[in-house]
Amino acid sequence: MVGALTESEAVCINVINGAHEAEARAVLDPLPHQECITYYEIPTNEPWCRDHGPIFLTRDADSKLTIVDWDYNAWGNKYPPFDFDDVVPTRVGEILDVPVFYPGMILEGGSIEVNGAGALLTTESCLLNPNRNPQCSREQIEQQLRDYLGAGEILWLGPGIAGDDTDGHIDDLARFIDPQTIVVGVEPDKKDPNYHILKENRQRVETLRDQDGQLFRVIEIPMPGVVQHDRQRLPATYLNFYFINKALLVPIYRHKTNDRIALDILQKNLPRHKVIGIDCVELIWGLGAIHCLTQQQPKF
């Protein structure tokens, strides 16, 4: 993953201490483009920086960078302690010397998806879960998203996939690949618990309208089938992809046919990007994949 990233952009890697950095360097130092890799030492509890890390914003008028530091409680108090993770965005703001804003609401980065034009996609099963913000109504949550992320249209889907311990992060279900196009996961096997979950969400996507009141173009992508570890169902999905400047990194799971089908669908619809499959069989054991492990930062 880092090797692909450094082909077109800088990579900032957070480590908890010097020993952790040495362990990372033992793997990454042989890679080319070492000038593109920077290590930062910020203590954390978990590696999933998409969820606890900073969400960066820029202002069109002057390209000024800022950070939004949402509260964090390890996916509904499932995995304490999380005190180190909760302050990571503020620590990053101090290092980069950029302003940090505090909405005072729990939100993980993997629970939201934006099209860059004013529409935000999320799920009721996560953002409306009482283990996140029981004091907030749906309308209050929507207003916070508008106030702190600049979203105009808030779009809601339903439950998450089997094995997902986040209560339904959107980055397992449906993603934008451009402002007018949503890619959705589908499961053809009617016996799979994901079949009805994804069918319901697919039907809801059909009715969604963008910030201008237009229906979205919808593209289906298959699920990779059952991926397990020690008999535990894992939340494997091709939707946990990550855009970089010149490519798209897509998790794959050694499925004989669906890996190639998923990559081909994405490549067909992203002719200006190089679609790269990254084997995530070991990574998904931690219940996350490429999108969960990354967080984009605008150049400033």
Distances (CA, A) of 288 to 59, 112, 201, 231: 31, 15, 20, 17
Distances (CA, A) of 220 to 187, 251, 272, 289: 10, 16, 20, 20
**SS3 for 227?**
coil
Residue 203 has which token pair? 């039907």
The conformational region for residue 167 under phi > 0 = left, psi -120 to 50 = alpha, else beta, is left
Beta strands 217-222 and 181-186 are parallel
Q: Which listed residue (49, 126, 280, 292) is catalytic?
A: 292
Cα–Cα distance measured from residue 292 to residue 300, given in angstroms and rounded to the nearest whole number: 23
Burial of 77 by CB count in 10 Å (0-12 exposed, 13-18 middle, 19+ buried)?
exposed
292 part of the active site: yes
Cα–Cα distance measured from residue 138 to residue 105, given in angstroms and rounded to the nearest whole number: 13
Cα–Cα distance measured from residue 19 to residue 43, given in angstroms and rounded to the nearest whole number: 12
**What kind and span of H or E run contains 32?**
none
Residues recognised as catalytic: 292
